[in-house]
Amino acid sequence: MHRIVFYFLLCIILIVQLTYSQTTNNELTVPYLGNHRFVTNNYVAHPFLKTSVRNTLGIGQALGVDIPIVVIDGEELLALRGDILFLNLDFEYQHRVKDWLAVWGRFLVLGRLGTGTEALISQGITAVSGFDLGWLFKLHQTRNTQLSGSLGLSNTNSIIVNLLDFINGIIEGNYPPNNKLVKNVPSLRANSGLRYAWAYNEFFGTYLLGELNFGQSSVERNQGKLFYRVGGVLDFDLSTRTVFPFGVALGALYTSLPRTGDLTKKNSQSLFLKVAYNTEKDFIIGIEIPIFLDFFV
């Protein structure tokens, strides 16, 4: 019931704000400061109050992953190798209401599953759907810098099928309903953060993110925890110095919030590279390559 009320309130707020902003003259342009055009990405949020539409479609596969099956007293007794398939659909709309205020709504669907027998047994299947609503406020701006603050709400629902955990639970004496093969994990979080961008010249720029989240994890039921995210991007506009009409973004994101759709409860570090065609005024199209590195805390 609380999820229905949450979605209803999100829709009402979006409709009111978008209707109120119809009298503003918003021009759809790529993010820029000074003479530098930035390349946005799916990991480190940017501080620009632009009316924009972002659509991400992704598919990937991890090949030959070593999967520990039996670990006793920290010693791995049996391990298998398998492949893991990842699917991603991410849609976001941001609307500039005022010169100092923008509102965004985001919908995402993620899938993660083992493609072979060994990987399917140990990694299972994870399906995630979620919706975000947020407000972006301009705090300070000069010709080459911009500082913005954000407030937001996130609601996700994870369906996790893990056969190995279910079998281990039975061996340990845990039976349904405490031990379930299919787990439904809802997650509701509030977040607040700062976003900063700096354009050194027409060729190089950078932007940074710092954010705090309070709420439930997407991989386990809990009453609420405090999570954080910090990230940064190095942004290069090759079209200003070369004949290549591309922008390149190199970035990293470190977070204590478990990755949505993953079974790990560890902190994670995400490195990524994005190459995008960015010489048009109204759109950017590119390919983003992520690399995930997990660490225990």
Return the structure tokens found at 45. Answer: 């949020």
For the whole model, what pTM was predicted? 0.78
| Averaged confidence pLDDT in the chain | 79
Domain boundaries, the chain: 2-295
From CA 121, how far away is CA 124, in angstroms rounded? 6
Give me the percent of the chain exceeding a pLDDT of 70.
Answer: 73
3-class DSSP state for residue 251?
A: strand
CATH classification code of 2-295: 2.40.160.40
Q: Which residues pair with 154 in a beta bridge?
A: 132, 189
Q: pLDDT category, 215, cuts 50, 70, 90?
A: confident
**Side chain identity, residue 99:** D
Residue ranges of alpha helices (H) inside the chain are 2-20, 117-123, 163-171
pLDDT at res. 139: 96
> The tokens of 266 are what?
């560890």
Query: Cα(203)–Cα(37) distance, rounded to whole angstroms?
Result: 8
* pLDDT for the residue numbered 4: 47
* Alpha carbon 213 to its chain's center: 13
> pLDDT higher for 203 or 78?
203
Q: For residue 290, is the peptide bond before it cis, meaning its omega torsion is within 30 degrees of 0?
A: no
Confidence class for position 63, pLDDT limits 50, 70, 90: low
What sections of 124-224 are H helices per DSSP?
163-171
Q: Which residue has the tokens 């279910």?
A: 166
